[in-house]
Amino acid sequence: MKDKSNLKSLDQFVEEQYGIIGTPKRDKFEKGYEAFKIGFLIHQARLEKGMTQEELAEKCGTNKGYISKIENNIKEVRISTLQKIVELGLGGHLEFSIRL
């Protein structure tokens, strides 16, 4: 049985590796993590709808390669394009929130 005394929460690990929120290194990490989450959420929604990347691309007026790059966090997506993907392609509704 492993010793659990060295276990850390994800928040603890991120803070140790990237610093506290508001530092440049942490801000860079958070920005990258948000982009990763967007791609992951699109990927999961597409799979739930039983769609291929090509089918999603056709519905929202883009191409398969672009969808792939977004899902794999290779390409940043514009808000207007994200809205088309979510609403036209996936039949969903895009919501944002701002935390200060």
Tell me the CATH number at 25. Answer: 1.10.260.40
pLDDT above 90: residue 54:
yes
- Quick one: which of 53, 40, 49, 62 has its CA closest to 90? 49
- Quick one: which of 93, 82, 90, 79 has its CA closest to 44? 90
Q: Would you state the structure tokens that stand for residue 45, as one six-digit string? A: 């929604």
SS3 94: coil
Q: Provide the whole-model pTM.
A: 0.69
Residue pointed to by tokens 């514009």: 78
Q: Is residue 73 part of a domain?
A: yes
The domain containing residue 66 runs over which residues? 16-89
The average pLDDT across 73-89 equals 90
Number of domains in the chain: 1
pLDDT above 90: residue 30:
no
The average pLDDT across 38-42 equals 90
The average pLDDT across 6-11 equals 80
Confidence band of 1 (pLDDT split at 50, 70, 90): low
